[in-house]
Amino acid sequence: MLPRHGQHQREKRPMIIEQEEFQKKLKRINLAYFSDPDRIITISRGNSVVRQGEQNKRLYLILSGSVVSYRHVVKEDPETASTSHKIYKAFRAGPGDYLGVQSFFSGWFRSSSDLIAETDLELAYIDTATPAVDVEHYGTLLEQFVPAIVHELAARNTRVFDRTAEKEEALRMLHRSEMAATLGQLSAGIAHELNNSLGVLSRKTDFVLETLDNMFRQENAFRYTLYNKGLEGASSASTSEQRRLARQFEKNYGLSQDVAKALALIPDIQNQPELLNKPFLSQLEQNLPYWELGHDLHDMKLAVRHATAIVRSVRLLGGGNTRREEGVNVTDSLTEAVALVKSSLRGVDFEMILPPRDSVPGIFADMTELVQIWINLLQNACDALKIENTPNPSIHVECRVEKISSKDQTSHTTREILVSVTDNGPGVPKDLHEKIFRPNFTTKKKGLSFGLGLGLTIVRRIVDSYGGRIRLESVPGHTVFTIVIPTINNHGKN
């Protein structure tokens, strides 16, 4: 759901309360397990906490100082029989962060990286012999440490994506100053670094997913259902349809406004009677965080995939190969793209109309390429609306399949997939319709930039590779980008 600004402000209160509750849980864990003076150690700057591959049966909490994680990667070249050894900086951690989460809770007890003291360190720790505190009230040690695991994953998520953003910005500047061939050479090294960080994030997200799945499955069937519904992502229905459903649920079932809004976010909820019965609804409000946790993890997985798509886009500009496969559904790529730009769509009256999934023919494509097209078009529309302070900003996305008659003598009918992105922003001047797709073209109109970075250059390159077309119609107050993709002879030019 994409609330307007006023709604967003009202909904921030329960989020703040939830954050406070989360911090209370972390504080209790730290007091219960990391306040024993006999389990506090100091490590001098430059010394290691643990080395990659070493046994680690401790979970550490940083009390003061900072740690840098380095990962060693050894690669063998079968052609030259040589071995290369590289060291990558994985992350940096400071006071309040946990160390050894994966090795401690996975049961493998081997460190995945070197942990080196960047400054003098003070660490508190528990080990495998530490008993759980107040099991009857708080559950097992693993159950009690779920907030700590989520906290650590979120912290690493932020660190990794900060680095990704920095490298992406550096890459944008390179693109403006270098020829495409040079970009192709440089992108290989940057992509390697990004993929290394993304691999760490992806593996740790999978670890948390598996841990939570096992725990919730055994704990409570109702919570497990909510958690799994969250993993499916939010509904792709338009904001107006979600508001209508929320009002209907609020009236018919006597739900609070916040609970009704959350219920309307569950995909196809109106056609799932097992979720609209009295026992389910009576427990919904107190267990909503389980749905939100699943939904957040769903978005994190999408974010990793999107970052990977950015790397592939860089390679595409430099002439790199893509990975295309049969049966890719365009509607899936649209749903994924909207989930990734939902923060930009806040305050925008957004509507997306998709045909039934089964009615859209699968095509030979790379899902990440398609997602990249829609993200660029949606982000451009959002930027235009916000920079110009467009009153009542709106974006409309529609996907449809059209039949076309063959122009050859066979007279057979083929189909094309059309996706249009419409906004009511200031528009694109007619004389810029072609120029905005040039990689090095920059122009500004009241602060609005076209053709910066990879954006529309990537869109055109991808669409051309599928034998598709881009149509642009624009007047002030009504701009439509339409992407046309053929459903046959579309194996494209990788």
More confident residue, 320 or 230: 230
- Tokens 């989360």 correspond to 22
- What confidence score (pLDDT) does residue 200 get? 81
Phi and psi, residue 124, nearest 5° = -105, 150
Collapse the DSSP code of 414 into the 3-class scheme (helix H, G, I; strand E, B; otherwise coil) and give the result.
strand
- What confidence score (pLDDT) does residue 420 get? 96
- What confidence score (pLDDT) does residue 492 get? 46
Contacts of 32 (CB under 8 A, 6+ apart): 133, 134
CATH of 34-130, one of 1.10.230.10, 3.40.50.300, 3.40.50.2300, 2.60.120.10: 2.60.120.10
| Helices H / strands E in the chain, number of each | 13, 17
Mean of pLDDT over the chain: 80
**Strand 448-450 relative to strand 443-445: parallel, antiparallel, unpaired?**
antiparallel
Q: Are 287 and 223 in contact (CB under 8 A)?
A: yes
The whole-angstrom separation of Cα 145 and Cα 142 is 5
The whole-angstrom separation of Cα 329 and Cα 104 is 40
- What confidence score (pLDDT) does residue 289 get? 83
- What confidence score (pLDDT) does residue 445 get? 47
Choose the weakest-confidence range: 14-23, 114-123, 401-410.
401-410
The whole-angstrom separation of Cα 388 and Cα 447 is 9
Q: Are 371 and 306 in contact (CB under 8 A)?
A: yes
Q: Are 393 and 378 in contact (CB under 8 A)?
A: no
The whole-angstrom separation of Cα 57 and Cα 217 is 27
- Tokens 């309360």 correspond to 17
CA angle 264, 266, 268 (to 5 degrees): 90
Over residues 144-159, the pLDDT tens digits come to 888 888 877 787 778 7
Contacts of 170 (CB under 8 A, 6+ apart): 190
Structure tokens at 162: 């900060």
CATH of 324-486, one of 3.40.190.10, 3.30.565.10, 3.40.30.10, 3.40.50.1100: 3.30.565.10
Q: Are 390 and 425 in contact (CB under 8 A)?
A: yes
The whole-angstrom separation of Cα 463 and Cα 286 is 47
- What confidence score (pLDDT) does residue 453 get? 43
- What confidence score (pLDDT) does residue 14 get? 60
Q: How many CB atoms lie within 10 A of CB 465?
A: 19
- What confidence score (pLDDT) does residue 109 get? 81
- What confidence score (pLDDT) does residue 17 get? 64
Over residues 55-99, the pLDDT tens digits come to 999 999 999 999 999 988 887 777 777 777 788 888 888 999 899
The whole-angstrom separation of Cα 243 and Cα 233 is 17
More confident residue, 229 or 449: 229
Domain ranges of the chain: 34-130, 136-320, 324-486
For residue 46, how far is the Cα from the chain centroid? 35
Q: How many CB atoms lie within 10 A of CB 169?
A: 11
More confident residue, 352 or 274: 352
Q: Are 118 and 68 in contact (CB under 8 A)?
A: yes
Q: Are 68 and 142 in contact (CB under 8 A)?
A: no
